[in-house]
Structure 1
Amino acid sequence: MNKFCLLFLLGVTGVVLLGSCKKYYESVPVEAVTSDYIWDTKDSNGVYASEFLFSIYASLPDGQNRISRDFLDAGSDDAVTSQTSAAPITLLATNGITIFNNPDDLWTNSYASIRKATDFLNNFSKVPLKNTYERRSWFGEARVMRAFFYFELVKRYGGVPIVGDSVKTLKDDVQIPRSSFERCINYIVSECNQAIDSLRDDPVSAGNYGRWTKDGARALKAHVLLYAASPLYNGGNVGDSLNGYASYDANRWKLAADAAKAIMDEGRYQLETDFKNIFLAQQSVEVIFAKTNTQNYFLESRNGPINFSTAPATGNTSPTQELVDAYGMSNGLPISDPASGYNPQDPYSNRDPRLTYTVLYNGAQWLGTQLQTFNGGVNRPGGTTTQTQTGYYMRKFLGNFENATTYENHYTDWVYYRYGEVLLNYAEAMNEFAGPTEDVFNAVEAIRQRAGLNPYALDHSISQDSLRTIIRNERHKEMAFEEQRYWDIRRWKIAGEIYNSAPLHGISITKTPTGFLYNIVPVLTTAFDESKMYFYPIPYSEVVSNINMRQNPGWD
């Protein structure tokens, strides 16, 4: 088989192309494979165009241990890496990135994917695909993915060059200046709107699960508009027009709320009854769009507790005490409330059930036994072995192995958009626009009710500020490790407060003859330079090769 087909086979998960590639290319030299073969004017089934489209899907980033074996959240206040050697993720939490070294630099990969999506949009019309419904959808899929990759750039760098429908090659001298933040947001929203008109209706069949749909594009649009309305960009930007809007406009919150409400009004999605099923069962009633993966137990091997001989793991992710403390009690009260019933010497009893779904702690059931994360315990023995640095291991996304003896394959799809986030997006945006209305309370209480809080209802007489605090806390708990918290503390413009006020903490547990002693201890001193860290530096290679490329504030 020639190299061209092999690239598709390696890059497109779950698509068997061997037969068609061999038949089509067996007499064609590798050097002769051109776009004419991809956009085949005789390919009425669109086989080769489909392969090209799926290669764009394959380039969607997967958040599972994405950054040198760590979750992005290990660069926020939710976790630290357990790796004993210097880990790239720590640079993001300690002012460590530079114009030469940024472990979350997606500039090149995003533009490569944008180029492929544009190539598809410009050329797919040549392919005589017989199924007109599929034809419309494929155009929509390429368009919404182009919008997705532009937003991946904008939330990292602010305004970026918009290439439009031109396809640049490595030989081109590209001297395109950055577009304003506002123009980028308008462009992304416009692309989503166009895609919505073409995409499949929700929900899709099992055979099309993992492909973009109308509500998938709506969810991306709502997500983008929520960011655009947030304090970092909505008049509070740290730079100029490249980094946000010139002044505050409350209507931006209304646009974000309306975009989320459009999905709610469709009524096609709902909250999953079992929180864990969101991530373990394909075609969950809550999942709007996810990147599909093969069944495996990769997450357990990377993040599960150490020292299980029948289920070896390296425990890469150490949740912080800050994350654990965000989860209140099962009665809905924060642990800081004297009426909550919280006992610091029995800290995990009667907590918000989402804590157990998200974090493994001392005494938690796992692999048929109770975890020992006390000092010197089986799962925290000390020494140089990679192990929890905080007394906690990550539980979220892992299979139901509480009573098993070994790990088995299960679905590990990366969920980008789900109905729980839509409700939280709506609640946040509507509270900022109109204050604590009944619709806002209903959205937040739906999340709390599904979580199992009793009572889940809130005091409807509270202020807008108080409700904002509750909404942000619910988002913190609900969306942990889903690549939300890292960006949320930036768009809310509170990253300086989070990183600079105090070190991150873990728990030091001492076993005694009568029980355990719990002491909170520092584990990592974080830092955040507010003058520049809200936006990543434009990569050095881009600045020196493009005379029109302006660097972000503080990175010159």
Structure 2
Amino acid sequence: MKRIKNITRVAVAIMIGSATTIVTSCQENFLDIVPTDRVSDASILSDSVLFESYIVNRYMGTRLTDKEAEGTLPGFGRGFEYAMWSSLTDESIYNNDDNTWLIQRGQIAPENTGIAGTLWGRSYRSIREINYALANVDKVPMSQDKKNKLKGEMQFIRAFRYHDLIRNYGKVVLLGDKVYELSDDLTSQDLFNRSEIKAGIDYAVAQLDEAAALLPQSNDSNWKLGRATKGAALALKSRLLLYGASPLYNAATWQQAAASAKAVMDLNKYTLYTGGYGNLFTTVDNSEVIFSRIYAQGARHVCLEISNGPNSYNAWGGNVPVQNLVDDYEMLDGTKITDAGTSYKASEPYKGRDPRFYATILYNEAPYRGSTVQTFTPGGKDSKDGPSAWNTSKTGYYLKKFMSDALPIDNPWDVAGTQTWIYFRYAEILLNYAEAQNEAVGPDASVYAAINAIRQRTGVGMPVIPAGLTQAQMRERIRNERRIELAFEEHRFYDVRRWKIADKTENVPAYGIEIGKSGNAYTYTRKEALTGKSFAEKQYWLPIPRAEIQASNNKLDQNPGY
């Protein structure tokens, strides 16, 4: 008998986190046939073009579950997929479940992780692949400058995978540079020891410091946004240290977090996009984008327009915003809808709101593709009385953000690829700085400047934050600004956890709105759009899937409460 070691080489992950079956068989001549469906190690390490292609493909991962990354492989987040990460939060619900409701209802378990079960396996697979490349890059015939750039990219990708592990599971296993093979001793307890959160963050930050020193300020025109740069490495460092300083982590200082965000600002490379908040997400190349995923024209992936649009447009009404989010948008004059002197009128709930509301959410009577959205009953074309009633929004709202009206809803597959998925943008950095600086020293002038720049940029035009706020008052302002500015961009899930307020935000029902119409008058009745929403203390971290624990022969510790 012999093990076929090649299954772990180049494209296939190692043991930990992969739950990959170790294939064995009797030694027969047919086992020595060179496979024709993969590229050999020797070919990759002797060809600089192939090696660089290997690195580029590490920006993607493996498809590990159904309804994940149709067509093109998954990247560093849900992004362009059916159920988005927002539908595990108080931003939206996924109309057709797709294994999201169990998480919203607090039923997630090691044996049933819903859409949140692939992060551990995919991350460690990617880390092993990067370790392999780093161990062999110096064997590849190419210039030292090229090698240094690729080393920087690999350290960035590895740090991103560790960041994803840390923010979802807390303590992680740090593998260093070791490239594990099936011939190694895979039973050692050292292979499954989970380091403290601070050690994980310190390791990833050190990797990003090294990456930033090796990476260019900008890539050439062929890979301008889709590959790591110095700014991308520093942006990820900013996010990691912001998380680290937060109450759930307690693994860094607010001063460190503020300084890391300021380092990105001091590059003087990025600015806030002023062509309209909605256009920011459909304009491929703009000054606000630090790092994003670019899709090739015609490369099939989940098309957001058909996945999330209203039912009368032959769309599927996927990730539908909840009333909880709608209520947190300010009025155009800066008042909240609950303020004593608010300009909000319950009879006209969508009038005079923050311009970002109109670019993010489709509501009753919202203009859309030469018509208007009609979620009222009876007779509204985007209500249960309209066509394709099974795709009617359970909340009374549909998603507008990220959508391009230039792309078709019917049969869109051949034109997919004109939008990018943004991983880091400058507004996040300003928000990171404002939060960290406020926690470090209080609401000084630089905190106001960062928040007001976002609120007042062309295309938004919201009033400045009132002067004289206390640190606590500014904290609440900054948190709400993150909620509005970064909605649906995979931040809310982690923000409410790191602030340790998820036990409040996620134990509130997921509300929607019922709109009745009589003549020209509307009535608005709040409803519970998803029953049973619940959050328990243990859910501040995800459970490690049971299969991963079993694959370690129960040497890997589970997160508390599971």
Q: TM-score, normalised by structure 1?
A: 0.86
Q: Partners in 2 of 1:325 and 1:402 — Cα distance?
A: 30
For 1:64, the equivalent position in structure 2 comes to: 79
Amino acid corresponding to residue 345 of structure 1 in structure 2: S
Aligned to 1:11: none
Residue matched to 2:248: 232
2:474 to 467, 471, 488: 467
User: In the aligned structure 2, how far is the partner of 1:420 from the partner of 1:90?
Assistant: 30
Indicate if the aligned counterparts of 2:211 and 2:230 stay in contact, CA closer than 8 A: yes
Equivalent in the alignment of 2:112:
101
2:125 maps to 112
1:316 aligns with 2:322: no
Cα drift, residue 190 of structure 1: 0.4
**1:462, distance to aligned residue in structure 2 (A):** 1.0
- The 5-angstrom pairing of residues 77-96 of structure 1 reads 77-83=90-96, 86-96=97-107
After TM superposition, give the deviation of residue 165 of structure 1 in Å.
0.7
Secondary structure in structure 2 of the residue aligned to 1:30:
coil
Quote the offset at 1:410 in angstroms. 5.9
Q: CA deviation at 1:432?
A: 0.6
Partner of 1:197: 213
Q: More deviation in 203-212 or 425-434?
A: 203-212
Indicate if the aligned counterparts of 1:156 and 1:536 stay in contact, CA closer than 8 A.
yes
Give 1:31 shift.
8.7
The answer as to whether partners of 1:292 and 1:412 remain within 8 angstroms in 2 is yes
**CA deviation after TM superposition for structure 1 residue 170, in Å:** 4.8
Q: Which residue of 1 aligns with 2:200?
A: 184
SS at match of 2:208: helix
Query: Which whole-Å CA distance do the structure 2 matches of 1:47 and 1:87 have between them?
Result: 39
2:360 pairs with one of 358, 361, 368: 358
The residue type paired with residue 552 of structure 1 is N
Relative distance call for 1:203 and 1:461 in structure 2 (3 A) is farther
Return 537-546 or 440-449, whichever deviates more. 537-546
1:331–1:453 contact (8 Å) kept in structure 2 = no
Q: Distance in 2 between matches of 1:29 and 1:498?
A: 52
Please state how far the C-alpha of 1:203 moved relative to its aligned partner: 6.3
Contact 1:369/1:403 (<8 A) preserved: no
Aligned partners of 1:323 and 1:61: how far apart in 2?
Answer: 25
Determine helix, strand or coil for the equivalent of 1:466.
helix
2:174 is paired with a residue whose SS is: coil
Number of the residue aligned with 2:152: 140
Match of 1:386 in 2: 391
Distance across 2 between alignment mates of 1:31 and 1:216: 34
Among residues 494, 502, 520, which one is paired with 1:487 in the alignment? 494
Offset at residue 332 of structure 1 (A):
1.5
CA contact (8 A) 1:318 1:394 kept: yes
Structure 1 residue 179: Cα displacement: 1.1
Following superposition, the deviation at residue 543 of structure 1 comes to 2.1
Equivalences, count: 505
1:263 aligns with 2:264: yes
Q: Give the Cα separation in 1 of the matches to 2:187 and 2:226.
A: 34
**Pair 99,171 (structure 1): closer, same or farther in 2 beyond 3 Å:** farther
Residues 354 and 545 of structure 1: is their aligned pair in 2 closer, same or farther, counting only changes over 3 Å?
same
Answering whether residue 350 of structure 2 is matched by residue 348 of structure 1, we say yes
Letter of the 1:165 partner, please give it.
Answer: D
| Structure 1: stretches of 5+ with no match in the other structure | 9-26, 235-244, 246-250
Distance 1:381 1:530 in 2: 34
SS in 1 for 2:390: coil
Q: SS of the residue aligned with 2:266? A: helix
Structure 1, 410-419 or 436-445: larger mean CA deviation: 410-419
The 1:215/1:443 distance shift into structure 2, 3 A limit, reads same
Pairing partner for 2:306 from 301, 320, 326: 301
* Separation in 1, partners of 2:509, 2:416: 37
- Cα deviation for residue 159 of structure 1 reads 1.2
Q: Return closer, same or farther for 1:174/1:478 CA change in 2, 3 Å cut-off.
A: farther
- Contact map agreement 1:353 1:451 (CA 8 A) in 2: no
Q: Deviations along 1:253-287, whole A, 9 cap, x unmatched?
A: 11011000011111100000122232212221000
Residue identity matched to 1:61: F
Letter in 1 for 2:381: V
Contact 1:303 1:316 in 2 (8 A): yes
Q: Give the conservation status (yes or no) of the 8 Å contact 1:367–1:403.
A: no
Q: Is the 8 A contact 2:225 2:290 kept in 1?
A: no
Q: Contact 2:271 / 2:426 at 8 angstroms: preserved in 1?
A: yes
Residue 59 of structure 2 aligns with an amino acid whose one-letter code is: Y
User: Displacement of 1:369 after TM fit?
Assistant: 0.6
Cα distance in 1 for partners of 2:151, 2:550 equals 35
**Cα shift at 1:207:** 3.8
Does residue 1:511 correspond to 2:513, yes or no?
no
AA at the equivalent of 1:325:
D
Q: Is the 8 A contact 2:510 2:531 kept in 1?
A: yes
Counterpart contact for 1:367–1:402, Cα < 8 Å? no
Q: For structure 1, which segment, 204-213 or 474-483, has the greater mean C-alpha deviation from structure 2 after superposition?
A: 204-213
After superposition, give the CA deviation of every residue in 1:5-45 in whole Å (9 maximum; x if it has no partner): xx99xxxxxxxxxxxxxxxxxx97539953111111xx3xx
Helix, strand or coil at the partner of 1:508: strand
CA contact (8 A) 1:319 1:359 kept: yes
Q: Which runs of 5+ in 2 are unaligned?
A: 1-6, 12-32, 62-74
- Structure 1 residues 357, 256: closer, same or farther in 2, change over 3 A? same
Quick check: 1:55 aligned with 2:57? Answer: yes
Mapped partners of 2:321, 2:285: distance in 1: 28
2:173 matched residue in structure 1? 161
Choose 284-293 or 544-553, whichever is displaced more: 544-553
Other-structure match for 2:548: 542
SS in 1 for 2:281: helix
The aligned residue for residue 377 of structure 1 is: 380
Q: Is the contact between residue 104 and residue 535 of structure 2 (CA under 8 Å) also seen in structure 1?
A: no
RMSD: 2.5
CA distance in 2 between partners of 1:208 and 1:418 (Å): 14
Structure 2 residue aligned with 1:214, among 227, 230, 242? 230
Normalising by structure 2, we get a TM-score of 0.85
* Alignment CA distance shift 1:188-1:380 (3 Å): same
